[in-house]
Amino acid sequence: MPNSSSAAGGLKRNEVFWHESNRSHGPFPGERQNVTRRKRWIVGSIVVAAVASGVGFNLEHLERVYIAARVYRSHIFTPPPPAPGESWLRRAWYGAEFYRDFSRIPIDRQRRLKRFNPELRPLIDEIDRRQAAGDGMQYSMHIYREIRWLLNFTPRDGETRTKIDELRRSLSEPEMQKLATQQQSSDGSWGLGIDAWYLRLYYSVDEGEGEGDGSAPQYPLRFLDRINSPEKLTAQLDSALYDDFTKTGEFKREELDETFSALARLLFGHKHTGYPFDPGLEDALRAFVAKWQNPATGCFGQWLVDRHGRVWKMDDTGITFHVVSDLHGHVNRLDAIAKRLLQLDGLNFPAGPRLNGHYENHLNWDLVIVFRYAWPTLDEPARGQVRAGISHMLDWCLKHSLQPDGSFKTSDLDDTVGDAYYYGVSFLHDSGFFSPQDRFWTDQEFPQACAIRQRIQAKLVSIGLSDGKIREAYETLNEP
């Protein structure tokens, strides 16, 4: 199975945070099932009133009313428990205040995209063109990866501007493209071009695994010193888990996702690093997962701290995938997790598996991996939903993503050639399209699979395997 990668992994250019489908998900698990329609109407009215009272009624503010109401109705957050003696009305008002504050995250993100995308988009198109021609562009991709994080999740416009200038210069630095594929002597990472520690960690795990001969890295992995005790590891993860977003203006979702995934693959992926890990790290990571799992739903996600210091726990399809995948399915309540992800089917990433309401190979692959691990625990109604879901995903991939020449369309989520191949091939592989032995969800035959595999292989060979994601896609296609 290919390594999980969300970087891939963050929100992308024009994606909306959540889309509510026409299907009803019912009350949030853990809520009282006898909540009256009148009471829900009152709460919804309070959400609208709270937003309106705080921001007025220009076009942006009306959009915030809309977003706050939609997020409230999507039931993706488990609210904090009531405070002693707290009235229902005060609790409802604080909740509305939280949704009002949260609605600023996508609004601010869209403002940043509108400001920077006209300048950034031509640079990415040039990277795509060179990747498609077989050029290695890893240095530029590292820089772009950090830009994407800054744009989507932080208000750091000055840093974003600096990194875009750096990206532009990188296109005329072929030697740096080569150096970015190598381990760096300064701290032992593979993150040349990246400043954020969690991204250097992520790319070091993702790309350092490509050394391939089983030997220890050339340089000591000093960048791991930051987490090399149970206390340090827990503190690093907690700093990303508890998101005091009203004070910082940042949404730490990606930092949490990538940090956990990289650490789990380091500690449980049987990779020979030569690094002297503290023997207590594995137990510390398992304890963090146990604390992190939502008892109401089984899922994992960001914990957002509201202006009163209370914690709202978000269910997140992508993060839940990483926990299940990177722990090789050794996660409690897999049946509850799968059923909850089925409930979230009509929502947009990161809460759900859609993007602007449509499928993406990247997110479809996430679901297939979770469903594979959960399959033995599922009852027949849930299995029926899984069968229908994967069948629809597969039909979409073959009709809309895969092209006649064996390539995959780039998209708002996988907007580079390498990512498009990597996630398209990963989804087809792990859904069992190419191999009956991987077809856990159906006994259906796919007679066109062999020809499609050969077509994709031929296209990959024709453009070359210099890009890491393209190379991984090719290796996945050739797995027995």
Q: What is the pLDDT along the chain (480 residues), one digit of tens a residue?
A: 444 444 333 333 333 344 333 332 332 333 333 444 555 555 555 555 555 555 455 788 888 999 999 999 999 999 999 999 999 999 999 999 999 999 999 999 999 999 999 999 999 999 989 988 889 999 999 999 999 999 999 999 999 999 999 999 999 999 999 999 999 999 999 999 999 999 999 999 987 754 445 677 889 999 999 999 999 999 999 999 999 999 999 999 999 999 999 999 999 986 778 899 999 999 999 999 999 999 999 999 999 999 999 999 999 999 999 999 999 999 999 999 999 999 999 898 889 999 888 999 999 999 999 999 999 999 999 999 999 999 999 999 999 999 999 999 999 888 888 999 999 999 999 999 999 999 999 999 999 999 999 999 999 999 988 888 899 999 999 987
What is the three-class DSSP state of 236?
helix
Tell me, what's the pLDDT at 339? Answer: 97
Domain residues for the domain of 195 are 136-210
* d(C-alpha 160, C-alpha 144), whole Å: 10
Q: What is the model's pLDDT at position 134? A: 86
Domain-located, residue 83: no
Q: Is residue 369 part of a domain?
A: yes
According to the model, what pLDDT value does residue 5 have? 40
pLDDT digits (tens, 9 = 90+) for 329-366: 999 999 999 999 999 998 988 899 998 889 999 999 99
**What is the pTM for the complete model shown?**
0.85
**Final residue of a structural domain among 187, 210, 233:** 210
Q: How far apart are CA 285 and CA 289, in angstroms?
A: 6
Domain count, the chain: 2
Indicate the DSSP class of residue 4.
P
Task: Dump the DSSP string for 289-357.
Answer: HHHHS-TTTS----EEE-TTS-EEEEP-HHHHHHHHHHTTT--S-HHHHHHHHHHGGGSBTTTSSBBTT
**What pLDDT does residue 356 have?**
85
* Count of C-beta atoms within a 10 Å radius of residue 1: 14
Q: Could you tell me if residue 6 is inside a domain?
A: no
pLDDT at res. 446:
97
- Measured distance CA(431)–CA(442) in Å, rounded: 10
- The one-letter amino acid at 193: G
Q: Which residue type occupies 344?
A: L
Provide the token pair at 320: 């839940």
Could you give the CA distance from residue 15 to residue 10 in angstroms, rounded to a whole number?
A: 10
Give the C-alpha separation, 72 to 92, whole Å. Answer: 11
Q: What whole-number distance in Å separates Cα of residue 20 and Cα of residue 128?
A: 32
Whether 434 maps to a domain, the answer reads yes
What burial letters (b/e) apply to 257-279, b meaning 16+ CB within 10 Å?
bbbbbbbbbbbeeeeebebebee
396 domain-assigned? yes
Q: Which of 210, 230, 255 is the last residue of a domain?
A: 210
Last residue in a domain, options 147, 180, 210: 210
Q: Tell me: cis bond preceding 2? Omega within 30 of 0 counts.
A: no
257 within domain boundaries = no
User: How far is residue 265's CA from residue 87's CA, in Å, rounded to a whole number?
Assistant: 45
> What local confidence, expressed as pLDDT, does residue 12 receive?
39
175 occurs within a structural domain? yes
**71 assigned to some structural domain:** no
